Structure 1
Amino acid sequence: MRWFGGARASSGTPPVPWGARRLWREPEVWSVETTVRLAESEGGRRLAVFGPCGATDTELARLVRCTDLQEFDAAATAWSGSYTLALDDRGDSLTLWADPAGSCPLYVTEIDGAHVWASSSLALASLLGSRPDTAWLAAHLVDPAAWTPGLSAWTGVEQVPPGHRWTVPHDGAPYSTPYWRPVSSTWPEAVYRLRSDLANSVLIRVNGRRVSSDLSGGLDSSTLAAHAAQCGAVLGVTFHPKGRESGGDADHARSVARAFPSIRHSFMALGREHLPFTDLDALVLTDEPAPSAVTIAQLCSHFALLAAEGASVHLTGDGGDSLFMPPPVHLADLARSGRLLRLARDAQAWGRLHRSSPWRVVAAACKAPARLGNVSLPKPWLTHHAVTLAESVVSTDADPDHLGYADRHLLNEARYVGRTAATENQLAAVYGIEMHNPFTDARVLETVMAAPSSERWSAHRYKPLLSDAVADLLPDDVLQRGCKGLFAVDHHHGLRANQTRVLELVAGHLADLGLVRPAVLRSLLRRAVLGIDIPWGLIEPLLGTELWLRTTDTATTRVRWEKRP
C-alpha cells in the first residue's frame, strides 16, 4: 500500500510505521512507496509535496521561502496533479493542506499524547486497533457522498475536511482552517482551462513511464488515452463480451486507437468468470468500502493483464460522469433566483428526455432540491435506526461556502469519487499498478465548478463542457455519442450465478448492527434474479459495505507500527 504520514509528540517518541522512509524528524514525516518532493529554505523551513504535482523545482524552492500562508493556500491548487502540501516552519507548527477535491484524503488521530496524521485511515486504524464506525456506516448507506465531520470509516480516526489546512502547534491542540473557495469564469474560459488542465494532468503522470489507460469508447477514457498517446506509447484496454468484438463501445474504442498510432489496443474478453458477485473473497482490506467491490473478479483480471503487459501507471476515467453529466439540480438555483422562464424551458427539456411530466422536477426545484440529485430516493431496506443515526452525524450546514444547489451537489459527489478512488488505488497496488484518476484533480474540479452551472447541464448535448474541451482531440464519431453502454444485464447474470453467496450477505454485519432490514433486501434481490430491474446504484454500495465489513474480520495484513529511537 502506498501512503504517507507523520506525527508530532510534545514528549516521548511518536510511533512510526514499519518499513517507512523517514523524511524528517521533529516532527516525524515519512513516506511509504509514495512520490514525494522536498524543498528547504536557508532558514530551515521544510516543504514536502506528496503525490503527482506539476510544480517545477524552482517554484517549490520559491514557495518554501514564503512566510505568508496564503501563498501556500494558492499553491494547493496552482499546479496540475493530485497532491498534498506539508510545511514545517521550524517554529511553532506543522501545517498540512487537504486538497479541495478530496482525492488526496488526510486523516488524523491522537495516541499517547502524539498527534498522528496519514493519507490512509486504515493505517491509523491499525495503530489504534480500531473497529469500523457504526455511525459513519449508517451515513454511508443513506448517502455515500454525505459529509460526516469528525468521522471516518474507523472509530477514533477523523478525516480532515477537504479544502482545509490542518495545523498542529508545538504546544497546543490541532485545528482546521478553510483555505479554498471556488472561482467563477465564463464558458469559453472554462473550456480553455479544462483543455489545458487535462493535458497537463496526464503529462505529469505518464512522462517516461510504462503507461496503460482505460479505453471504453466513452468520452472520459478516450480523452485520457488520447492525451497519454500524445506523450508516448500507451496500452489502451477495452472490455467486450466473449465472442463479440464489434459494435457499440468496441467500435468507438477502435476509432480512437486508429486516430493515435501510439495507442497499442488490447481487448479483454469478459466471460462468466468476470461476472459481478464472482470471487468476492479476492477483496483486500482498504480504507473504506471500495465502489468496485462487487465487480472484483473483473477488476483483478484487469490488473493482472496490466501487470503482465508491464504497465506501471494506469489511467482511469472514473469521476468524469460526476463532473460532466450532472442531474438537473441547477433547476433549484433557477427557482431560487427567479429565472422562471429558463426553469420552465429546462424542465420541459428534461421531461421530453425522460418521457415524463416536467412538473415533477419543477415541484422538486421549488420545494425539495435534494430530490433532483437523487439523494432522497427511498431506501426501504434501511432501518429507522440507520436513518436516525445518519442524520445525527451528517453535516447540516446548508450553505457553508455560499454555493448554489448545483455546485454543492457537484462538490459532494466529486469529493466522494475522489476519496473512494484512493480505495481503488489500494486494490491496484496489490498488483504493482499505480492507478491515477485525473478527473479527480483539484484544478479540474475547480475549472468545472467555475463554469456556469446552468450551462453544464444539457438535455440536448452529451457532456457539453468536456465535449467542447476535447473538440479538436477526438474523432467526430466519439464526440457525437449520446451515451455509453450499460451493464445492468451483467449484474442480473452475476446475481443469478452467485445467488446463494449474495443472499447470504443480506443477514450479515449490517443486519447485526441494526442498519438494514434483511427481509426487504432479500425480496429485492430475488426479484433481480428473475430479471426485474432494481436500483443497482443504491444496492451495490450496500453489498460492498457488507463485504468490506467481512474483510475487516478476515484480513491478516495490517500496517505495522514501531517506536524508533
Structure 2
Amino acid sequence: MPGQLRDYFVVLPDSVAGAAAAGRLPAPGAAFGRSSAPVASAPGAAAGQARGAGDTLTVVHPSGRPWVVARTLVRKASHLARGEDALVLIGPDRVPDAVLAGLLEGARDRTGLERRLARLPGLYHVIARLSGESWIRGTATGLRRIYHARHPDAGTIASDRPAALARLIDAPLDEGALALRLLDFLPHPLSRRAVWRGVHETGAGYGLALPVAAPGTAAVPGPTEHRWWEPPPGELPLAEGARKVGDAVAASVQAHVGGLDRISCELSGGLDSTALAFAARETGPEALALLTVAARDRYSEDERWARRAVEAARNPAATAVPAPGHHTAPALDHHIVPASDAPYFYADLASTAAELNDEPLPVAPGRARAELLLGRARATGSRYHLTGYGGDEIFLGLPHAYQDLFRGNPLTAWNHLGGLRHQLGWPLLPTLKALLDRSTFPRWLAGAVTAAPQPVARTPLLSWGVRQSLHPWLTDHAKTLIAEEFRAAAEHAEPIDPWRGRHVDIDGVRMGARHFQAMEDIGMTIGLPVAAPLYDDRVLEAALAVRLPERISPWRYKPLLVEAMRGVVPDELLARTTKDHMASDEHQGLREHAPELAELWTGSRLAEHGLVDARRLLRLAAEPFSPVLVEHSISSTVAGETWLRTAENAWPTTPHRTSTTSEAIL
C-alpha cells in the first residue's frame, strides 16, 4: 500500500510544460504513486482566479495556466488577486479577504509584503506573485518548509513536499542523504539535504524567488534564495517578554481551534501540555477532551500532575478572564489511557507504510503509541487535537547559551554555569576549557561525527552542537558517505546565527519541528488534524527577544513559559519543576518486539543499498539488552528502514501516463 501524501502544494511556471506537469500530481484523495487526472483551470481565467476539484484548489497565472495547485486536506488555503499580483496563504485557518487585501495592497516587493505578514500568526506558507515574480517561503521554525527542483521541460518547480517534486522529475533516491538519516540527529546545514537527487530544500528563514522570463526571451533565470527572517536581539526583561509570549501562544491556539465546538489536547501532565490545555480552554469550545497516557513506571509523576490540572480546570475560578463571548466553561472530559493499553516503542512497525514522510524521522518507532492516543482523541468527537510539542526546544534552554552570555557578562555566565555544573556533574577544568573554546562553526562541523565512543554524560556541552558517534552496525560504505557529507558541508557552512547559543537553540527548534511532522501525518491518516501551536514563529521570536539570563536559569524550570502562562494556568500547576521520561518503554520495546525487528532486518532495504550490516542487526534483535543498544539508539536505523520501504512502494509499478497537450492548459 503506497504511502499517503498529506496536504501539499506545488508552484508551477507559466508555461505549457508547467501546465502539463500539473497533470502528474496525485488526484484528490489518491494514494501517492497512483495515476490521476490532470489538475488545470480553464483558459482565459482571470489572474489569481481559483478553481476547486474535490480537495484540490488551483490558482492560475494571468495566462490561465496553473500557478498554485494545492490539496488542502487539513490546512486552509486563502487567496486573493489584485491585477496581476496575487497572494496565497496556506495554514491552519482561513484568512479573510479584507486581511489579504491589506497585506497585498501597497506591497511593491517581497520585503514590503513580509513587513505586513508579521501581523499574522507565523504558521503559514506564503506564496505571492509580485511584479511577475513568485515568492515562496515557509516558517522560521521550520515547521513549514519549501523545496524546489528543476523540471527538464518546465524549469523550476517549488513545493512543500519533496516527494511531490521527486515524482514530477522522476528523481531517484540520494544514498548520501539517506546515509545521513541513520544518525540520531542532523545538524544544520546537513538537515537540508533532501533524500531525492535533484530536490533541494530552501533553508528555514529563507524564501525562494522564481523570476519570470526577461522581455523578448524564452529563458527564465534560475531560482534565488533570500533571507526574510532574522532572530530578534535578546533585550526584553522577563515581564515584558512573558506578555509577548503569552499573546503569541494565545494567538496561535486561536488560529488552530478558535470557533470549533469540540477539540482535544494531549495532557501528559508536563508544563507544556498543561499550558496548551488551559490556552485551548480559553478559546471557549463547547467540549474539551484531555487525554493522558498512564506511565508504567510507578515513580512517574505525570499522571498525578495531569489529574491536578483537570481538577483545577473544572474549577470555574481557575481561569482569570473568561473567554470572550462565552459565559460557561466547556464540558471537560479527562480520558486516561491505561498503561497496559499503550504500545511499547517498536510496535506495529508495518503501520509506518501509511504515511510517506518527507524524510526518515527517528520518531517512527513510536508511531503505534501516537496512533493510539490520536485515535482515542478522535473517538471523543474532537475536530482538532493540540499538543505541547516545541516547549522543550523553545523554553528549556541549552547549556550552549552560556557561551553567548559569557561574551557579554562573564560573571553572570559563570555564576549560572556553577549551578548547572553541580546539577550535571561537569568537572571544573573541562567546563572552563569548553567555555573558552572559540572554534569556528565549519571546524566544529567537520568533526561532528566520530567513530570513537560517545562522550560520557559528564562532558560539558558548550560547543556548536553535540558530537555523535557512528553506530557500529553501519557499513564502511555508509560511514564513508557520512564523512564525505560532513566534510563537504563544512567547506562552505555558515551558522544560523553568529552567536553559538542562539545557533544551537534555533537549530534545536527546527529539528523538533521536523520530527513533529510525523505526528501531523499520523493525524491526517486517521482523520484528525493535530497541531503544535508552540512552533509558531511569533512564539519563537517572543522567546528569543528575552534577555538570556532571564530566559533560562539553572534554578528555575522554564521561567519564561511559567510567567507567560500566569493568569491562564493556575499557580500551583506552574510550580512543577520535574519532567518524566520514557526510556524504559523504549528498552522494553526492544525485547517485546524483537521478532518484528528481526523480520525488518531480513531482506533489509538499507542493507541492499550497502548502508547497514543486516547480520549484526539480526544478532542485536536477539539481544535486546545488549550493551551496544544501551550506548547506541537504533531508532534512526529503524526509521530509515521503514521509510525506505514506504518510499520505494510509493512509485508506480508501471510507467505513469504523462498529460498530453489536449489535457493541459495551453
The Cα shift of 1:315 comes to 0.8
User: Which of the residues 298, 302, 309 maps onto 2:380?
Assistant: 309
The alignment status of 1:376 with 2:376, answered yes or no, reads no
Residues 78 and 528 of structure 1, relative CA distance in 2, 3 Å threshold: farther
SS in 1 for 2:142: coil
Query: Are the counterparts in 2 of residues 145 and 412 from structure 1 also a CA contact under 8 Å?
Result: yes
SS in 2 for 1:274: coil
Find the counterpart in structure 1 of residue 227 from structure 2.
178
User: Which of the residues 281, 285, 288 maps onto 1:229?
Assistant: 281
Query: Are the counterparts in 1 of residues 398 and 505 from structure 2 also a CA contact under 8 Å?
Result: no
Q: Which moved more, 1:499-508 or 1:259-268?
A: 499-508
The Cα shift of 1:512 comes to 4.4
User: Which of the residues 212, 218, 230 maps onto 2:270?
Assistant: 218
Alignment of 1:221-260 (within 5 A): 221-231=273-283, 232=285, 233-241=287-295, 248-260=301-313
Q: Which moved more, 1:450-459 or 1:512-521?
A: 512-521
The alignment status of 1:8 with 2:13, answered yes or no, reads yes
SS in 1 for 2:264: strand
User: Which of the residues 268, 276, 279 maps onto 2:337?
Assistant: 268
TM-score (norm 2): 0.77
Distance in 1 of aligned mates of 2:302 and 2:385: 20
Q: Which runs of 5+ in 2 are unaligned?
A: 1-5, 29-55, 214-219, 315-329, 445-460
The alignment status of 1:367 with 2:437, answered yes or no, reads yes
The alignment status of 1:195 with 2:246, answered yes or no, reads yes
The Cα shift of 1:333 comes to 2.2
CA offsets 1:174-227 (integer angstroms, 9 cap, x no match): 211112111123133321110000011001111222311110010111111111
Residues 500 and 365 of structure 1, relative CA distance in 2, 3 Å threshold: farther
Residues 361 and 512 of structure 1, relative CA distance in 2, 3 Å threshold: farther
Query: Are the counterparts in 2 of residues 76 and 84 from structure 1 also a CA contact under 8 Å?
Result: no
Alignment of 1:37-436 (within 5 A): 37-41=78-82, 43-52=83-92, 57-65=97-105, 66-89=107-130, 91-114=131-154, 115-142=156-183, 143-148=185-190, 151-171=193-213, 172=220, 173-184=222-233, 185-187=235-237, 188-209=239-260, 210-231=262-283, 232=285, 233-241=287-295, 248-261=301-314, 262=330, 263-271=332-340, 274-283=343-352, 284=354, 285-335=356-406, 337=407, 339-367=409-437, 371-372=461-462, 375-381=466-472, 382=474, 383=476, 384-394=479-489, 399-400=494-495, 402-436=497-531
SS in 2 for 1:186: coil
The Cα shift of 1:37 comes to 0.8
CA offsets 1:61-106 (integer angstroms, 9 cap, x no match): 12211213222122444311410111123x4321112321111111
Aligned alpha-carbon RMSD (Å): 3.0
Distance in 2 of aligned mates of 1:401 and 1:329: 14
TM-score (norm 1): 0.90
SS in 2 for 1:102: coil
Residues 405 and 455 of structure 1, relative CA distance in 2, 3 Å threshold: farther
Distance in 2 of aligned mates of 1:338 and 1:247: 40
Query: Are the counterparts in 1 of residues 78 and 94 from structure 2 also a CA contact under 8 Å?
Result: no
Residues 532 and 399 of structure 1, relative CA distance in 2, 3 Å threshold: closer
Query: Are the counterparts in 2 of residues 212 and 306 from structure 1 also a CA contact under 8 Å?
Result: yes
Query: Are the counterparts in 2 of residues 98 and 161 from structure 1 also a CA contact under 8 Å?
Result: no
Find the counterpart in structure 2 of residue 30 from structure 1.
69
Give the letter for the 1:181 counterpart: E
Distance in 2 of aligned mates of 1:278 and 1:15: 39
Query: Are the counterparts in 2 of residues 3 and 119 from structure 1 also a CA contact under 8 Å?
Result: yes
Distance in 2 of aligned mates of 1:534 and 1:57: 55
Task: Tell me how many residue pairs correspond in the alignment.
Answer: 559
SS in 2 for 1:430: helix
CA offsets 1:463-497 (integer angstroms, 9 cap, x no match): 12111111222233421222221111111111111
The Cα shift of 1:265 comes to 1.1
Larger Rg: 2
SS in 1 for 2:398: coil
SS in 2 for 1:29: strand
Matched-pair identity in %:
25
Query: Are the counterparts in 2 of residues 51 and 81 from structure 1 also a CA contact under 8 Å?
Result: no
SS in 2 for 1:277: coil
